[in-house]
Structure 1
Amino acid sequence: MTFDVSTLAGRLAAVRASMADACRQAGRDPAEVVLLPVSKTFGVDIVREAVGLGLRRFGENKAQEIQAKATALAGENLEWVVIGHLQTNKAKVVATYASEVQSLDRPDLAVALDKALQARGRAIDVLVQVKTSPEETKSGISPADLLPFLDELKAFHSLRLRGLMTLAEASEDEERVRACFRTLYRLRDRAREAGHAVDRLSMGMSGDYALAIAEGSTELRIGSAIFGARSYKV
């Protein structure tokens, strides 16, 4: 089947078909893997078009971008997910507009988010970002510190722990990429054995999501394959 990838609808259909094919090749049920469209740097009009295609949940890197889009699209009943590195001084914005944070990676951020959420009478889902890549540019808590951090999170009732997230190494070597995903999968097993509710694994993006599916991902963060080439002027 061919898709008109010059349109948003065509690219979305192509990604969904590719996801389903990757699941079949991995011996998995496509229903096990959720798509999180990443709308970072794309304008409100493009997001509105995506809403018209049935999308209601969007990943964003920056708190201020979530604020702007949530304000412009108020009334659409959308969910905004933080997937980028988050500074503690953005906690109030996130606590106001976001429904989920997938990049929780340190205790001081947990404290800031919990304080801001309690002030607003809210609670949100969180995924803990783990650094499985050797690259210095990648954020995340170290695998060695993960279980103690998960224990600390029990004290923050406004943060509902749901799973783990990672960014794989940017490499042409598929085995190096898969190793990052495999590490997160094994860490999830260890966390479950320790009694933590970490069912979700957010791993895999436009360039490596087939590998992530093969290694057990339950959620893919896909942006450019759906929305097209990015402009980082935003």
Structure 2
Amino acid sequence: MYAQALNAVLERLAAAARDVGRPQPRLLAVSKTQPATAVAEMAAALRASSASNATVTGVAHAPAFGENYVQEALAKQAAISHETLEWHLIGHLQSNKAREAAAAFDWVQTVDRDKLVAALARHRPDDLPPLNVLVQVNIDDEASKHGCAPEQVSALAAAIAAQPRLLLRGLMAIPAPHPDVARRRAAFGRMKTLFDTLATQYPHVDTLSMGMSDDLELAVAEGATMVRVGTALFGKRA
């Protein structure tokens, strides 16, 4: 039932990338509030579309899903444990949930403080690969948003890179939804500048996660390598 919506999103991504001569970014399906049955159906649609299962380097991956809450994700994982999926935490993570998150997720995109770095590293199980980590940046300095300040990225990245149970992969941001498109695009551009600097310092940095259903074209134009799409795939939440 999701094939049509998925194809529409993939066409948007392809067109946006083509317009600016950039590689097509990876699609992260944001499944927060969606039932496990919807995740399974979307996973089937993703597998049926080879374009959605490739990164910018063309490497195949399991269908990837983004969740905001640890407990909600754990319930879905248990319900569809037969599925081979890649799970990303994209919501704010409290330190007291780090043990569960470190064991349950393949990626945590919202690392924004030293305390969380230490907790995730301490609790990542030894029988799993290092946890993929993105630094969340509060690029517009919004009081209501989590994320570190841009000037804190370097120190936080160094702290992550020093942990053998963590793998620094890049940056994530949720810019303010300004009605002025130029301001929104400028925020994405500032993220790309931070990302490019980081990528020169750490060999595994390859992911700039930004852009959602309403602004993915702007994000792609400025260099996103991963976009997080929920509404355009699953429909509006009730």
**TM-score, normalization by structure 2:** 0.89
Q: Find the partner of 1:13 among 1, 7, 12.
A: 7
Distance in 1, matches of 2:23 and 2:103, equals: 35
Is 1:23 equivalent to 2:41 in the alignment?
Answer: no
Alignment of 1:140-159 (within 5 A): 140-159=147-166
> RMSD between aligned alpha carbons?
1.5
> Of 189, 211, 220, which residue of structure 2 is paired with 1:213?
220
Q: Is the 8 A contact 2:95 2:119 kept in 1?
A: yes
1:190-231 per-residue CA deviation (whole Å, 9 max, x = no partner) reads 223444642211010011100000001000000000000113
Percent identity among equivalent residues?
A: 40
Deviation at residue 79 of structure 1 after TM alignment: 1.4
Deviation at 1:116, TM superposition (A): 0.9
2:154 paired with 1:162: no
Q: How far apart are the structure 2 equivalents of 1:188 and 1:54?
A: 28
Calculate the TM-score normalised by the size of structure 1.
0.90
Shift of 1:149: 1.3
Which whole-Å CA distance do the structure 2 matches of 1:195 and 1:94 have between them?
A: 24
Q: 1:130 — aligned with what?
A: 137
Q: Does 1:39 align with 2:31?
A: yes
Paired position in structure 2 for 1:202:
209
Paired residue for 1:83? 90
CA distance in 2, matches of 1:173, 1:203: 18
Distance, in Å, in 2 between the alignment partners of 1:189 and 1:96 is: 30
Q: What is the CA deviation profile of residues 61-120 of structure 1, one whole-angstrom value per residue up to 9, with x for unaligned ones?
A: 111111001111102111110011110111121122111111111100011111111466
Q: Which residue is equivalent to 1:4? A: none
Secondary structure, aligned partner of 2:46: coil
What is the number of residues matched between the two proteins?
223
Q: Contact 1:126 / 1:162 at 8 angstroms: preserved in 2?
A: yes
Query: 2:57 corresponds to which residue?
Result: none
List runs of 5+ in structure 2 lacking aligned partners.
48-62
Q: Note the residue ranges of structure 1 that are not aligned, 5 or more in a row.
A: 1-6
